[in-house]
Chains A and B, each alone.
Chain A
Amino acid sequence: MRIRKNIAISENGFIFNPLTGDSFSVNETGIFIIQKLKNGESEETIIRNFMDEYELDTYTAEKDLNDFLSMLQNYQLITNE
């Protein structure tokens, strides 16, 4: 999973996709995940960091991350490449 080329992400969580013209706002947790994806970190690492940062159990962290990733995919913000 990688953030698609040219996606613009601001520090306050505003995301712009220049391919589609869509823009989005994400909360603090969203920024946390997107920054990790942008840095090229694996899903396993993100889950671990996610659990540590927000004191989550494995099940909740995986479920929330997968929900968020499928949303990002649906909006063409990430690719599987």
Chain B
Amino acid sequence: MNKRKITVAVTGLNNIDSPGPVIPVIRGLKESETIDVRIVGLSYETLEPGIYMHNLVDKVYQLPLPTAGSTVLKERLKYIASQEKIDVLIPNFDAELHNFIKIQEDLKSELNIATFLPSQAIFDERQKSELGKFGEKYGVKVPESHMINQVLEIRKLEETMSYPLVIKGRYYDAYIALSYEQASSYFYKVVAKWGYPVIVQEFVTGTEVNVTAIGDGKGNCIGAVAMRKMYITDKGKAWSGISLEDDELMKISRKIIENSQWRGGCELEFIKTKKDEYYLLEMNPRFPAWVYLANGCGQNHPEALVKMALGEEVQPFADYQSGKMFIRYSYDQIVDISEFQQISTMGER
């Protein structure tokens, strides 16, 4: 079968012990049976391992950090588009999505680069700080959450909430605090790294279960695979996990994707309590780092996303295999300094 050749740009080439989804996304795309994908990697730092993975990433360009804003990002993408014919662009980091959502129309009209992102309104709805309203709107249980900007606000919350409390950053990081002293210390730690506001969340006891899912933006859930972490690193990242067969979890996940009309990939993080209740802890607006497990279970989500970005109709996946595991490993690449020099000085390789 002749595969159609297309070029896909993917952002964030990190694959460290707090891995991003990009390498699994690339692997999914490379394993497509219908499209032959050339990968343009868009990196933020010169030591991101993906920059040097020649078997997966065909060309690399550096991007300005998300804090530089959407205008600078657009300028850089204009240059890249003058060098490469990019058909689809997949952003992979929470912190950069705001910029990409902002310029998604311009990317299509001016540079003919397709994306498959949610609208700003739907993106904002599932922000960690808005989780309570999100749960209410879409009929899903969520832990009680409050956004705070001052450490003293924890004292006020103590009147209605009891320890342990979860102290979370607006994008990443979560700490379990057993006392006010711990909570205030975590508050400052989170502020130093992620800024304001800080989220204070009720601690729900149970087993963490996660779902990687993809929606078509028209109220259809195209695919969803559930996973339980089996080995967690000291950063709380899944180093191995196993796919589950949980009808109730699938039902809740599909309901969220369908009712929110989610467009693109996402990760739903739940706690399953001993009473078999599911609490949504977070909805991350991009594929998780373990999205390749979905591919291993029979659902190639990155491929489905690219096809939808190109305007094709994609039929929802009917099922997937449970009992499939992913087990990560670290791997040393030997790189000549000239390659590092190339990306450091020229911003591309």
Residues of chain A whose beta carbon lies under 8 Å from any beta carbon of chain B: 6, 8, 16, 18-21
Contacts and interface: CB of A to CB of B under 8 A. Distances in A.
Contacts of B227: 21
A21 B230 CA distance: 8
Interface residues of B, number: 12
A45 to B, nearest CB: 30
Contact of B228 (A6, A8, A21): A21
Nearest to B322: A18
A47 B228 CA distance: 36
B241 to A, nearest CB: 8
Contacts of B230: 21
Nearest to A16: B323
A16 B245 CA distance: 11
B324 to A, nearest CB: 10
A8 B245 contact: no
A63 B322 CA distance: 35
A8 B322 CA distance: 11
B323 A8 contact: yes
B245 A19 contact: yes
B302 to A, nearest CB: 24
Contacts of B244: 18-21
B31 interface: no
Interface string B122-142: 000000000000000000000
A28 to B, nearest CB: 24
The 9 A-B pairs with the shortest beta carbon distances in the complex, nearest first, are A21-B228, A18-B245, A18-B322, A21-B242, A21-B244, A19-B246, A16-B323, A18-B323, A6-B245
A10 B267 CA distance: 32
Contacts of A21: 227-228, 230, 241-244
